[in-house]
């Protein structure tokens, strides 16, 4: 796997805006984050630790904050949203049902606070 920029460049044009938006919000919330890897996935890295990765899977787009606690911090805000699924450390969604901006901000900030810990 390469960088976030390489990941974005290789995405299907239908998926790219949705994935770019999440990375853009994450960069706003953590302007010091750099491109790197987290568990082998292109990710934004904050203070040497993976902050968030967003990847296209076969049936969904996955958001990986590398923290079950960060997912738990926003789970209440995602209940009832169509096309959104949660797992221990992953949020899955479809481009036609994007994650709300405020939820992405909360997710990134929850992970950022853990890293700053």
Per-residue model confidence as pLDDT tens digits over 34-50: 999 999 999 999 999 99
Helix (H, G, I), strand (E, B) or coil at 108: helix
Query: CA 68 to CA 98: how far, in whole Å?
Result: 20
Model pTM score: 0.94
Please determine, for residue 16, whether its predicted confidence score (pLDDT) is greater than 90.
yes
β-strand partners of 36: 43
Token pair in block for residue 43: 């990710």
Q: Tell me the pLDDT band of 1, cut-offs 50, 70 and 90.
A: low
To the nearest whole number, what is the mean pLDDT of the chain?
A: 94
CB environment 60-93: b (16+ within 10 A), e (fewer): bbbbbbbbeebbebbeeebeeeeebebeebbbeb
What average pLDDT does this structure show over 5-13? 94
**Residue 82: what pLDDT?**
85
What domains sit in the chain, N to C, each tagged with a CATH number?
Answer: 4-116 (3.90.1150.200)
Whole-number Cα distances in Å, 13 to 17, 56, 96, 101: 7, 12, 13, 21
- CA 107 to chain CA centroid, Å, is 8
């Amino acid at each position: 796997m390469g960088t976030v920029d390489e990941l974005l460049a290789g995405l299907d044009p239908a998926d790219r805006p949705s994935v770019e938006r999440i990375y853009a919000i994450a960069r706003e919330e953590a302007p010091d984050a750099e491109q790197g890897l987290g568990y082998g996935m292109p990710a934004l890295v904050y203070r040497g630790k993976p902050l968030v990765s967003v990847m296209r899977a076969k049936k969904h787009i996955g958001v990986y904050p590398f923290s079950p606690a960060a997912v738990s911090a926003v789970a209440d805000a995602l209940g009832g949203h169509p096309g959104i699924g949660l797992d221990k450390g992953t949020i899955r969604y479809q481009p036609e049902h994007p994650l709300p901006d405020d939820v992405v901000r909360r997710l990134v900030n929850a992970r950022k606070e853990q890293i700053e810990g």
